[in-house]
Amino acid sequence: MSRSIQVKLEHKRASIDQPEVSKEDVDNQMEDPQARSRSGTDELSYTCPRCQKTIRPNAASSTTVQTEEECETVLTGLRLEHDDWHFAQDLVREGGNIQWKADYSRPNNPG
């Protein structure tokens, strides 16, 4: 029987004014890997709180994950990719009304 790591996150509507989430924020939301005991990398998984999809590194990766550290790295990447997918879907639902502000200065052309 496999165990799932349940990561509980508050999901708020995406907003342009919202600050970006850093990798450090994501790492802080995951439980300490040293506090867990498990018998192999096959037991690690992530269940999305929004859609209940369960993601397992070895099932989603094209190569077999060997070590616990590799498994956690792959799982973190897959979770971030899945969260990005939800963010993109939220933008589509909201009409994709994103206004970009660019601060480009023109070079001074002598002559």
pLDDT digits (tens, 9 = 90+) for 45-62: 899 999 999 998 876 666
Tell me the sheet residues that pair with 46: 5, 55
Pairwise CA distance, residues 88 & 82, whole Å: 10
- Residue 78: which pLDDT band, with cuts at 50, 70 and 90? very high
Is the confidence at residue 95, as pLDDT, over 50?
A: yes
Pairwise CA distance, residues 58 & 46, whole Å: 12
| Structure-model confidence comparison of residues 55 and 2, the more confident one | 55
Per-residue confidence (pLDDT) for residue 48, from 0 to 100: 94
The residue among 26, 33, 28 whose CA lies nearest residue 5 is 33
In this structure, how many other beta carbons lie within 10 angstroms of the beta carbon of residue 77? 13
pLDDT, mean over the chain: 67
- Residue 74: which pLDDT band, with cuts at 50, 70 and 90? confident
Residue 55 phi/psi, 5-degree rounding, is -115, 130
Is the confidence at residue 88, as pLDDT, over 70?
A: yes
| Structure-model confidence comparison of residues 13 and 98, the more confident one | 98
Per-residue confidence (pLDDT) for residue 98, from 0 to 100: 55
Coil, strand, or helix at residue 53?
A: coil
Asked if 98 contacts 16 with a C-beta cutoff of 8 angstroms, the reply is yes
Pairwise CA distance, residues 7 & 48, whole Å: 8
